[in-house]
Amino acid sequence: MKHTQINTGILSFGRSGRVFHAPFIHTNPHFNLSAVVERSKKNAHEFYPAIKSYDNITELLADESIELVIVNTPNYTHFQYAKDALEAGKHVLIEKPAVDDSTQFDTLLAISKKQGKDLFFYQNRRYDSHFLDIKKVIESGELGKLIEVHFRFDRYKMELGQKYFKEDTQYISNGITYDLGPHLIDQAISLFGKPVKFTKTTSINRPDSKVAD
């Protein structure tokens, strides 16, 4: 029988893996949800009985049957895990933010070309129904010349996040700018192209917070 499905591994099975990746891979006939990394709680088998659950990322990357790896781990780990996956001969899909800076991006791109493997970035908000409706209206010209457009998320909480690594100033990719900003920037570029110029303002508002919120 000809191999027609892409064997896919997910590097974590928290909310991201469980909600944003696994269900879509599982229902798409072109993909096979092959493996996942679960360091402590082993929950994947409850939803996908045939899935392989590895204790760590090294084990999953050593699985020669896996062709595509989804990097959905904490932001600051994206570069290293994507690099490891490419060097292990896997195609790679990285969640936003893909990397911390352009140097890391250039490194991954060079490795993907050397390995002959594809490198993708997961910008799922491009396909939100409300965004697609807005894009359709703008492209129709019905609104005329646009002078000002606002993109925003409203998700402010006074409490610090339970995921300690998101509050760590050691990593540039922590804070709301890197966490949700890529969605808004990607949507803006998708609608209007690359900016001629831009400015950025960030602030820290929560008590005891150390990262932009």
Position 108, amino acid: L
Per-residue pLDDT of the chain (213 residues; tens, 9 = 90+): 356 899 999 999 999 999 999 999 999 999 999 999 999 889 999 999 999 999 999 999 999 999 999 999 999 999 999 999 999 999 999 999 999 999 999 999 999 999 999 999 999 999 999 999 999 999 999 999 999 999 888 777 777 766 666 777 777 788 788 888 899 999 999 999 999 998 988 888 888 888 887
Distance CA 18, CA 87 (A): 26
pTM over 0.95: no
Distance CA 54, CA 63 (A): 10
- Domains annotated on the chain, with CATH: 6-122 (3.40.50.720), 125-192 (no CATH)
Q: Comparing C-alpha atoms, which of 36, 110, 100, 40 is closest to residue 68?
A: 36
